[in-house]
């Protein structure tokens, strides 16, 4: 399904009608939900509230439930496009004694490497083989009791490999001592995993490049966890407000000022684009366009080129790149090495699609640069490459020009109600 987004005016000006303000409800963080679903499978005394309604989380939950209710020792599961599910479930099933499973996925999933995680699990005693190509899904896992406890792995490829190991660590006979080699990418996601482990009673430590997780949990009869809403999904609303007129306000629920999610860096980053964030007493946030200048540059009435190192929160890179282009400012985004192995090669995808719109953009293996320009072509069809973030990152440009989003249903991977939410605030969204 393709969608045409006509150039729109957002209906979020509370001063026009006293007391009127747009409020968007975003479900729980996909990152937190997927971690907690796996922990709940290991420790059934955990109950969850405000779970994500994303495709990825539904895939995780469905596979876990099917594996638990079936007496069949050998099962085949399809994770589709869900990279997090592939990585987390690889570790989960490796530690499930007596279970034999095959994890398969989409054609793109078969191109996404998993060798580093598989080899590390083998060091712990896991039995995993490749069904087709060495180093890539599908994989066959023969669940075993993992008895070794000390391993190391490269830390600059994907933090999900690290989190996958940490999540099963309390079930490893002697716990886990994990040494991270090289530059550590996406540290906030690792800290999120450790914080959730602590919340359910695990003892952990993270010193220099070594992480330790004890094998025993503090005994608790029950544990109720309310999941914070997804900051990655909030990023598209930050972009919308940044591209809107001064006075635009949107309220999003439910968010914490002391968030575990690295993408909460949006609060500071979008100050550069004239967007302020207020944390309300009911756990909502109100984001407002308060100026048209760079808040980090005193008394300058034009937006300045922006440089950001996104190594710790690469999932918001697409949103920021499109925001900068839409505002007509240059940007240099660094720390993007993990974007090459996402749902698509996101750096090349951004280069291709922004170029269609008139951007002067260049990319390397770990960076993206857009030159300052006011070029913005109209009625361009944006390819999404089976990548939910491509669709949602480009949608805010409808405030500046008309465009077409191809295969728009891909947003269901993380934010199924995205297009309905856009229409609720005044975006003109039409099926092609």
Q: State the catalytic residues.
A: 315
Residue 375 neighbours by CB distance under 10 Å: 11
Find where tokens 């023969």 sit. 142
In angstroms and rounded to an integer, the radius of gyration of the C-alpha atoms of the chain is 22
- Is the separation of the CB atoms in 246 and 292 below 8 Å? yes
Q: From CA 200, how far away is CA 39, in angstroms rounded? A: 9
Cβ contacts of 340 within 8 Å, gap of 6 or more: 346, 347, 365
Strand partners, 116: none
Looking at residue 218, the DSSP 8-state letter turns out to be P
- Tallying the residues shown for the chain, one arrives at 432
Query: What 3-state class would DSSP assign to 112?
Result: coil
Token duo for residue 164: 């996958």
* 77: its two tokens: 């599961």
Torsion, CA 76, CA 82, CA 88, CA 94, rounded to 10: 20
Q: Identify how many contiguous H helices and E strands the chain contains and give both numbers.
A: 12, 22
What are the tokens at 58?
Answer: 């539904």
Q: How far apart are CA 170 and CA 325, in angstroms?
A: 46
Q: How many angstroms separate the CA atoms of 33 and 46, rounded?
A: 12
Residue with tokens 């009625």: 379
To which H or E segment does residue 25 belong? strand 22-25
Token pair for residue 139? 């994989």
d(CA 59, CA 86): 10
Show contacts of 198-202: CB within 8 Å, 24+ apart: 199/223, 199/225, 200/39, 200/43, 200/46, 200/225, 202/169, 202/170
CA–centroid distance for 129 within its chain: 28
Measure the CA–CA gap between 131 and 103, rounded to whole angstroms.
9
Closest CA relative to residue 38, chosen from 200, 153, 185: 200
């Amino acid at each position: 399904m393709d969608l045409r987004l006509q150039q729109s005016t957002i209906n979020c000006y509370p001063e026009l009608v006293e007391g009127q303000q747009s409020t968007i409800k975003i479900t729980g963080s996909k990152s937190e939900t997927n971690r907690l679903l796996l922990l709940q499978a290991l420790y059934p005394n955990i109950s969850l509230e405000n779970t994500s309604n994303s495709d990825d989380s539904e895939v995780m939950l469905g596979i876990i439930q099917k594996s638990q209710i079936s007496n069949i020792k050998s099962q085949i599961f399809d994770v589709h496009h869900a990279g997090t599910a592939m990585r987390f479930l690889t570790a989960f099933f490796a530690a499930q004694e007596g279970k034999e499973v095959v994890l398969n996925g989409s054609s793109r999933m078969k191109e996404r490497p998993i060798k580093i995680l598989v080899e590390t699990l083998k060091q712990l005693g896991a039995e995993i083989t490749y069904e087709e190509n060495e180093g890539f899904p599908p994989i066959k896992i023969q669940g075993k009791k993992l008895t070794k406890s000390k391993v190391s792995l490269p830390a600059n490829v994907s933090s999900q490999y690290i989190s996958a190991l940490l999540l099963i660590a309390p079930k490893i006979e002697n716990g886990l001592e994990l040494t991270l080699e090289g530059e550590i990418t996406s540290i906030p996601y690792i800290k999120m995993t450790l914080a959730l482990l602590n919340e359910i009673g695990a003892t952990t430590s993270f010193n220099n490049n070594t992480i330790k997780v004890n094998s025993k949990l503090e005994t608790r009869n029950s544990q109720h966890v309310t999941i914070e809403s997804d900051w990655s999904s909030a990023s598209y609303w930050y972009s919308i407000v940044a591209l809107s007129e001064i006075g635009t306000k949107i309220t999003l629920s439910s968010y914490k000022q002391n968030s575990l999610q690295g993408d909460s860096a949006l609060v500071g980053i979008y100050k550069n684009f004239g967007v302020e964030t207020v944390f309300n007493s009911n756990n909502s946030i109100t984001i407002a366009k308060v100026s048209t200048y760079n808040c980090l540059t005193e008394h300058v009435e034009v937006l300045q080129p922006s440089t950001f190192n996104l190594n710790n929160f690469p999932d918001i890179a697409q949103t920021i790149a499109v925001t900068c282009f839409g505002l007509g400012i240059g940007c240099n985004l660094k720390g993007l090495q993990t974007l090459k192995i996402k749902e698509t090669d996101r750096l090349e995808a951004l280069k291709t699609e922004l170029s269609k719109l008139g951007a002067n953009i260049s990319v390397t293996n770990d960076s993206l640069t857009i030159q300052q320009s006011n070029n913005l072509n109209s009625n361009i069809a944006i390819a999404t490459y089976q990548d939910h973030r491509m669709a949602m990152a480009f949608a805010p440009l409808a405030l500046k020009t008309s465009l077409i989003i191809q295969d728009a249903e891909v947003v269901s991977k993380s934010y199924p109600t995205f297009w309905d939410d856009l229409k609720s605030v005044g975006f003109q969204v039409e099926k092609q």
